[in-house]
Structure formats: C-alpha cells, structure tokens
Structure 1
C-alpha cells in the first residue's frame, strides 16, 4: 500500500455501517460491565447518576462511586486525546482512523486479558485497573464518531438520538435518512446489549469483552476498504 493510500481521506458518504457496527460493540460492553462491575464504560449519564446517588448516601450494591469516577475520568481522557490527535492528523485520514480503532481494540483486549487472569469483585480496588482501558477505549470511540460528522449515530449516547428520532433542531419531524440512522443506532445498541448480556451470563464476562474487541478490530480492518474521498 502506497503512502498516498494511507494519507488520503476516506469518503464519509456511506460511513453509516462503520458507526452502526461500533454501536453494537458499545451495547455489548455496557451490558457486561454494569452487572459485573457496577459501572458503565461508555454511558456516562448512568455513571453521573450513580455518583450523585453515592453522594446522596444511597447505599445500594449496584452503586460504586470509585468505579463511576474512574470511568468518567478515563472516558474524558479518551475523548480529549483522540479528539485532539484526530484534529491534528485529520479525523477522516485513513491511517488515523485505522490507528485509533486498533488502539481502542488493544485497550479492550487488555481488559480481556485482565478478566481472564485475575478474579475481580465489583467493589475491589483491582477492578479500577479493568475500568481504565475500557473507558479510554470508548471515550476515544466517541471522539472518533464525532469527528466523522455523522451526528445521528453517536455510537455511545442514546438520549439525544431518541429525542432527535422524532424532532429535529427546529422541532419538526426529521428527514428520512437522519431518522433512519437514529432508529438503526437505537436498535443496534439494544441488540448489542442483549448479545453482551447473554454472552456474559451464559459464558463469562471475558468472552463478552472479547466479542466487543473483535467488533472493534473488524471496524479497523473495514477502514482499509472504504473508498477515498473524491
């Protein structure tokens, strides 16, 4: 592959499939981390709520303030690093997209290795080491999807998509394509969560995390076959 191939900008005209595929990974990961580690690594709205309940001294087994704080910080760092580097190198640059998706994949693979070799309890300090690479990975994914400019498929945040499914910024029904994108995003996030939950329950959490990593890897490879921007 020539240097020109790597430095060219990919076409985002039909990039929907890539972001929707990553959305499935998001569903898988959160459906795994929440029931087993009391934290979301991509749904930061949930973590902010957990943290607020902890501050309000709602002592529930499903709430872990340290886990929520670490996930929030890791996610923000992932967004900041990926967003700034993407701005410098070009959000649509083939080599940058491939590189950031591969790094995201390796971060999830690190968590797979950790869950396969170490016994974690949700309230154990050791679980924080598992949360960090996952939060970094999905923060970077959020920045990646934002950089590609398809606002209807954020890959990690469902709230805005649910509102925009029915109303655009002017309070009117959106056009067909944006509406269909949002609907597909919501459906695939749900489907990914079902797959992740079933896999984690019937097999084990590390297998579910491995599935999420595999989906990210496929997305990285797919970048190699997306046509250049004309």
Structure 2
C-alpha cells in the first residue's frame, strides 16, 4: 500500500536505501518522493533504537513488554488509518508524510520485537534472508525442524500479504488496507494474553522435575517470560 501510494517502504529499508541513491541522482526509474523515503528510513532507525532499548530495560521476553509493544504498534497503525481516512488522500503533503512516519515507527517496533525475542526466522521484513537460510538448512527435510517451519510460514504469509494488499488496492481503498493490518495486529496483541510462556524449573535429587513456583498470580502471568 505504501509503495503504491507513497513510493516508499515502511519496513523494507533496503528498498528505501536504493531509492535514496536513485532519487539523489534524479534517476527516471523512480518517482521523486524523497521526503517519504527519508522520513521512513530515519523514523524506522529511531524507532528500532527506542523499542529495542526499552525492551532491554523492561525485559525482552516479559509478557508485559510483548503486550505493551504490540499495543503501541497497533495504536500507531490505527493512527495512520485515521489520518489517511480523515486527512487528504493525496500522495504528497503533510498527511502522507504523517502516514509514512506512523507506519515506519510501528514496523520498527515489530521487527525489534521479533529479533529481541530471539526469533530471527521471523524478521517480518525480508524474504531474501529467509530463503537463503532455508536453502542452506542441513535439517531442511527433518520431520521436526521449528526454524524451517517458521521460515516457510513466513514466506507464505508475506507472499499472501502482498497479493491481499494488491487486491485491496485494485478493488477497494488504501484505508481499508491499513484497517485490515490494524485489525490483525489487534488480534495478535490479544493472543499474547493467552500464550503459555515459560516457567522456571528445578531438578530434585531423584531426577524428577517440578515447578519452582507453587502459585501463579495475575501479576506473575503478566510479568513472566
């Protein structure tokens, strides 16, 4: 959606880097939308630093941080949706820059979260890296291979998302595309309230395992890993 309407990416900063070089030399291959590209690139870098360091302070694996981070990301996407719906529908101007900035900030939090929880297979932005890691995986044909499964599902979902976005752009409106993304992120945020998480365990002298915690409270669930 952002590439079609604003000629910039809000998550794939490799593409923006190439567009900066082409635009700087006034290449005819790109539409001159330098503000969108530069804003997206700068906001994304700042957002990754902010989300990443706050995650370090709170605890990257804490359920409370997973929820807070996703709530912020979802709010940013809803904000971009509202700005697109009630603002100007022009591909240039203050509203368009605002939409790009809000989405770039949301996507920076998304990829920072994926990397900080040690799930590099789901970087949420690139297909190239996932394809390479999948192709060189020695255990690609093993029955149990969680990393492979994540990469394959990631590839399928990114491709499916591209087709869905293209279909929405053709038959509906960019606002609907943003609303769909915001709705999906809302569902993901709610799901973090119900995932099992991890528990601390200890091994006694007989070799059996038991939970280190005898009781589970709401605060422990929210603050747990």
> TM exceeds 0.5?
yes
Q: Return the match for 1:103 from 52, 65, 72.
A: 72
The aligned runs of 1:127-206 (5 Å cut-off) are: 127-168=96-137, 172=138, 174=140, 176-206=145-175
Match of residue 219 from structure 1: 188
Separation in 1, partners of 2:79, 2:146: 37
Separation in 2, partners of 1:164, 1:227: 28
> Which stretch of structure 1 is more off in the superposition, 51-60 or 68-77?
51-60
Match of residue 14 from structure 2: 45
Separation in 1, partners of 2:188, 2:121: 18
Whether contact under 8 Å (2:84, 2:95) holds in the other structure is no
Give a deviation string over 1:102-140, Cα, whole Å, max 9, x none.
Answer: 110000000100110112322334311111110000001
Whether contact under 8 Å (1:105, 1:137) holds in the other structure is yes
Whether contact under 8 Å (1:200, 1:206) holds in the other structure is no
The aligned runs of 1:47-62 (5 Å cut-off) are: 47-60=16-29, 62=31
Match of residue 87 from structure 2: 118
Give a deviation string over 1:175-224, Cα, whole Å, max 9, x none.
Answer: 63322221211111010111122123211101100100111111110000
Tell me the C-alpha RMSD between the 2 structures.
1.6
RCO higher in structure (CA 8 A, sep ≥6): 1
Separation in 2, partners of 1:117, 1:212: 18
Larger radius of gyration: 2
The structural deviation recorded for 1:61 is 5.2
| Alignment length (residue pairs) | 196
Unaligned regions of 5+ residues in structure 1, if any?
A: 1-31
Unaligned regions of 5+ residues in structure 2, if any?
A: 200-225
